[in-house]
Amino acid sequence: MKHFKTWMACLLLGGMTMQSAQAQKEGKKEYPYAFIGVQGGLQSTFTNFTFSNIETPIFAGSVGAMWTPVVGTRVHVSAMNCKGAIKELNETYGYKFVTSDLDLMINLKRIFAPYNEQDINVYLIGGVGLTYAWDNEKVNALAQSSGNRSYSLAWDDDRLVHNFRVGAQFEAALSRVVGLNLEVTANNLSDRFNSKINGKGDWQLQALIGLNFKIGRPGKAKATSGNAIAMQDYNANRNADALAANKQDPSATPKPDPKPVVTPPAPKKLAETKCEIFFDINSSAVRASEEAKLQAFAEWMKQHPSAKAEIMGYADAGTGNPNINRNISQKRADRVAKVLVERYGISADRLTTGYKGDSVQPFKDNDSNRVVIGVAKETK
């Protein structure tokens, strides 16, 4: 019954964390988002016995949320077999445990390399919690058979002790919603957790590998939708240019008049076009899906040799800060101009670049403001 109550308490705490994360999630933003993690690995409690002889397999699960690119929290639960040893008897004994922690997660990669486009994150982990242990019959049997009074410190009832932990987790993204992680933590437990007194807390080392499943993190569908709208706008501009070129100006039609009337030619309409290149969060790399639009933009400029283009970079206001967003919007504009010059042969003196950061948001949809907008116009 006591075991059941402990597991229910862990599940209830995990459910509260998940509900809070889902309640605050905004579908149009990258953060916050919730996650669920599953892990497996090995653990051992440090003692005066051979380390490899008392290591045991464990399993772990977690629920939590990344509230910003740097800060996250989670509830982490690991279980269930542990070993100790009596060196004088050359004997080991086993017992069961479950450890639950409330952890703070700090993404060091987002602090020191916010513009790194590789999907690898390094988290510093610190937490507090409780460890519950039971089924410790063997150590008591060994103590009674040996007659050694020092073993009377072995506990025979279930135990509930504190847990403090520090550690690190390395995560590599397999997709936008799945990450592979390797985690190592050191847990400080109350003395006598391993049935012996040494005047300081017991240390339990855990090494785990697992997967994180992100919930509520936007996929690439929105970016694809924005690309489709941008391509429609581009095609509409081309059609409008073609219609304008073929349409006759009514003012050029001669009016019935007995005297010859010389009508000055209508001023030539200067052609122009526009393209919108969308980017991933914190990225200035031109995605393969955007290349067709850049190529079409360059072809139009080649067909209109007097045209010059303004390349303006933007960043979304939903993430980062004004300084970071100003820098990333400048990098995006410079990258688009570089591709036009080096890949498609547009002369650099026909291009001007600028950046707005997050001070101007061209689109209502937050994610669509990770964009570079190019406008090309004929000059004569």
Give per-residue pLDDT as tens, 5-58: 454 444 334 443 333 333 333 334 567 889 999 999 988 877 766 666 778 899
For 277-335, the pLDDT digits (tens) are: 999 999 999 999 999 999 999 999 999 999 999 999 999 999 989 999 999 999 999 99
Residue 203 in this model has a pLDDT that exceeds 70: yes
CA distance 31 to 47: 43
* Cβ atoms 32, 48 nearer than 8 A: no
Q: Which residues are bridge partners to 42 per DSSP?
A: 57, 207
Q: What are 39's two structure tokens?
A: 């892990």
pLDDT tier, 112 (very low <50, low <70, confident <90, very high otherwise): confident
pLDDT bucket at 236, cuts 50 / 70 / 90? low
Q: b/e per residue, 129-140, with b = 16+ CB within 10 A?
A: bbbbbbebebbb
Position 194 pLDDT exceeds 60: yes
Indicate if the alpha-carbon torsion angle 329, 218, 64, 67 is positive or negative: positive
| Least confident piece of the model among 11-15, 42-46, 92-96, 162-166 | 11-15
Q: Which parts of the chain fold into alpha helices (H)? A: 2-24, 108-112, 137-146, 221-246, 291-303, 322-342
Compare 218 and 166 and report the one with higher pLDDT.
166
pLDDT at position 21 is 38
